[in-house]
Structures are given as structure tokens and as C-alpha cells.
Amino acid sequence: MRAVYLVKNGKADQAFEIRETENPQVGALEIRIKVEAFGLNFADVMARLGMYPDAPEKPGILGYDVIGHVDALGPDVSSELKEGDRVIALTRFGGYAEYVSTDFRGVVPIGDHVGAAKGTALATQGGTAYYMAREMVNIYTGDHVLVHAAAGGVGSLLCQMAKANGAVVYGTAGSDKKLEYLSSIGVHHPINYRTDDFAKVIQKHIDQTESNGLDVIFDPIGGNSVRKGFKLLGSGGRLVLFGASSMTSAKNVFSKLNVARGFGIYHPVSLISPSKALIGVNMLRIADHRPDTLHRVMLGTVDLFNKEVIKPLSGGEYPVEELNLAHAALENRQTMGKIAIRW
Ligand SMILES: NC(=O)c1ccc[n+]([C@@H]2O[C@H](COP(=O)([O-])OP(=O)(O)OC[C@H]3O[C@@H](n4cnc5c(N)ncnc54)[C@H](OP(=O)(O)O)[C@@H]3O)[C@@H](O)[C@H]2O)c1
């Protein structure tokens, strides 16, 4: 089979090589998938830049999610899936390939009509959003919820899930086009963080409405935005941290230290008195140590999609030869929604 290897950290046009390699074996609890397309994730950009500790060693095959057809099932797999079924899957790397094997609990059926970008978005971005918004926190009618990178893959689905639960949604994004999209999906308060300080905008709202503060924040940015967010939380508020994309803009060790300092320091006691919670989420750890949770989350995500509660945004499909262009676009914040790469 062919696979795309990450051979070098750095710029997208020098980082990848398509190579011939053996098809992956099928482990006892694994399903092997013939891949139609694989999805891109922001973590892939961080891996390419050498900023992702969990990434496979070079030369290695990245890739968290694929859409394709079941090719083979391991002997201990207990699943209704059979050879030829169309599926989406969360892969523990190895997704940038024509075939990939992955734990059967990360594989769920998907309809033939579902496009590659939307399908792969359901696996990683959808699963992550569902786990955070449906399992790690509860969102109730009237709750005030802030979503950062709201026009992105995970962010847009978080907005939709929060809205479906009746929340008042604030979403930050970095361009007018992204803000227009946020309005189109019903985000009540789209905020362009490049022109407005999100914390000031929201604080003004809190003051004007004499509300308790934010109930839930979803933050993949890290650094300063966490410290600012923590202050905006009301009693009972929860801040869910699931990334540190601001690290990618920090070009030297001093700016990295600045980002790290920006998070703030929280003694556990400082959470008790104001009754606030900080929650960290890493879906790799969930996939590794709670495969049954992952399975429940993926089935729940596809169910929300089938019921049209969530509509993942397609950021387009690129042929594998243009992977470098797609990677650079994701790194440079030019994308909206999920990008899929077709074989
Ligand atoms: N913890 C987990 O298990 C998990 C799982 C999946 C994803 N994630 C994290 O969730 C976030 C979203 O992932 P995604 O794949 O759905 O990507 P995405 O949101 O579609 O793309 C990233 C977006 O983040 C925003 N951004 C803010 N600061 C940035 C920076 N310094 N550099 C680049 N982009 C920046 C940009 O939007 P604006 O133009 O609006 O700023 C950009 O378009 C990422 O941080 C990712 O690492 C975490």
C-alpha cells in the first residue's frame, strides 16, 4: 500500500513523502479499513512542527481519522460490522495510508451519502466535542457557554451541541468570514478576537445582564485565554481545556514560556471557594484507556448527526498530492471546518 510518512519537522512542503509499505496486520481486537480518505487535525500540524509529544517517531505515519470500508476483522472483535461496510474510524495514528488497522471500538458505521470531510469530522472533532459537551459537562437551557476557535472543526460542533441544549452561545474566531458562519449556525454572540478583547465583550454582557458569569468555556487555545476565561466563570462554572494552539505561534523559548505562564497557576483551594472547575481532555488517553467510552461517544456523535442536531462543516477535500497545501492552510488559520485528503 501507499502511505504518507512524516520525514522531517518543519514546513509542510518538505515534511512528507509518499512511500510504498506493507499493509498493516490486523490485531485480535482490530478492524482493518481500506481508506477512501483521511482527515486532517490541528494536532497533525503540531506533530509536523515537532510540538506534539504523542506523535509517532519519524519516519512515521500520522492520522487520527479515516473514512472507508471494512477490509478485515480480528478474531476477538465483537461487532456487527462486516467486510465491505462503510465506516468512519478514530485511528491511533496510521491514518495517512491506504489501509489502517484500529481498535474495533473506534470504528462505527456511516451512510454511503456522507462526504469524506463530514465523515472524518464526526470521528475526531465530533467525538471530542461530544465527549466534552455531553460527558464531561452538562449544558442546560439558559446556560452561558463560550467556545473558542468556534468556526473550527471541534468548535463549530461544540456551538451546535450547546445550542441544541438551549444555551446562550459566545464564539470567538479570527475573521469576518468566520463570524458570518457563526451567525449562520445561530451563535448568539460571535466575537472577532482580532478586533475585540473577548473578555471585555463578555464581561460587559455579564455586567449588563447582571448574570452570574459564564457556565462553561471550551478552550483549545491555552495561555492567556485560559486565565481570562477563568475570571469570566461564574459560581459553578467549568473551563474545559483541550489544546494549546497558541503554542504554535510562539517561535522561541521565551515566547513559549510566556504562553505557559499565561495559563495562570491554580491551587486546588482556589477552585473550592468560588466553586469553579478546570477539566482537561485528551481523546488519545480516552481511546487508549477507555475504549468502551470512546465507542459510546462515537455512536452518540453519529446519532446526533443522523438526527441533524449537528452538521459538521466541510473545509473541502484535497487529493493526496496536495496534502502539503492543506496542511499549510490549516496551520495558517485559513480553513473553516474539516479537511479530508483523498487517495
Ligand atoms: N484534546 C483533544 O483530544 C483534542 C482533539 C481534537 C482537537 N483538539 C484541539 O482542538 C483544536 C481545534 O482542532 P481542529 O482540528 O478542529 O482545528 P480547527 O479548529 O479547525 O483549526 C484550528 C483553528 O484554531 C484557531 N487558532 C487559534 N489560535 C491559533 C494559532 N495560534 N494557530 C493556529 N490556529 C489557531 C484558528 O481559528 P481562528 O482563525 O478563528 O483563530 C484555526 O482555524 C486544536 O487546538 C486541537 O489541537 C484537541
> Which among 264, 283, 302 is the end of a domain?
283
> Which among 262, 283, 304 is the end of a domain?
283
Cα of 79 vs centre of ligand 1, distance in Å, is 33
Of ligand 1's atoms, which has the minimum distance to the CA of residue 283?
Answer: 3
Give the residue, by CA position, lying nearest to ligand 1 atom 25. Answer: 149
Tell me, what CATH number does 75's domain have? 3.90.180.10
Query: Are residue 130 and residue 278 in the same domain, yes or no?
Result: yes
Q: Is 178 in the pocket of ligand 1 (CB under 6 A)?
A: yes
Of ligand 1's atoms, which has the minimum distance to the CA of residue 151?
Answer: 40
Give the residue, by CA position, lying nearest to ligand 1 atom 2. Answer: 282
Of ligand 1's atoms, which has the minimum distance to the CA of residue 175?
Answer: 39
Query: Are residue 244 and residue 332 in the same domain, yes or no?
Result: no
What pLDDT is recorded for position 53?
Answer: 87
Is 60 a domain residue? Answer: yes
Please give the radius of gyration of the chain, using alpha carbons only, rounded to the nearest integer: 20
What pLDDT is recorded for position 252?
Answer: 83
Query: Are residue 157 and residue 268 in the same domain, yes or no?
Result: yes
What pLDDT is recorded for position 92?
Answer: 84
What is the number of structural domains in the chain?
2
Domain membership of residue 84 as a residue range? 2-113+313-342
Mean pLDDT by 10 residues, the chain (343 residues): 97 97 98 98 94 92 98 96 98 96 98 97 97 98 97 95 98 96 97 97 93 96 96 98 87 84 89 96 95 97 97 96 97 92 97
Cα of 133 vs centre of ligand 1, distance in Å, is 17
Cα of 250 vs centre of ligand 1, distance in Å, is 15
Residue 260 contacts residue 223 (beta carbons within 8 Å): yes
Query: Are residue 247 and residue 151 in the same domain, yes or no?
Result: yes
Query: Are residue 320 and residue 253 in the same domain, yes or no?
Result: no
Which amino acid belongs to residue 238? R
Is 253 a domain residue? Answer: yes
Query: Are residue 277 and residue 137 in the same domain, yes or no?
Result: yes
Query: Are residue 155 and residue 238 in the same domain, yes or no?
Result: yes
Residues in CB range of 312: below 8 A, 6 or more apart: 117, 118, 121, 122, 125, 126, 153, 156, 157, 305, 337, 338
Length of the chain: 343
Is 120 a domain residue? Answer: no
Is 334 a domain residue? Answer: yes
Cα of 3 vs centre of ligand 1, distance in Å, is 25
Is 299 a domain residue? Answer: no
Give the residue, by CA position, lying nearest to ligand 1 atom 13. Answer: 42
Enter the C-alpha cell of residue 243: 489544546
Cα of 149 vs centre of ligand 1, distance in Å, is 6
Query: Are residue 195 and residue 152 in the same domain, yes or no?
Result: yes
Query: Are residue 109 and residue 143 in the same domain, yes or no?
Result: no
Query: Are residue 136 and residue 246 in the same domain, yes or no?
Result: yes
Query: Are residue 96 and residue 141 in the same domain, yes or no?
Result: no
Is 186 a domain residue? Answer: yes
pTM: 0.95
Is 292 a domain residue? Answer: no
Query: Are residue 195 and residue 51 in the same domain, yes or no?
Result: no
What pLDDT is recorded for position 136?
Answer: 97
Tell me, what CATH number does 197's domain have? 3.40.50.720
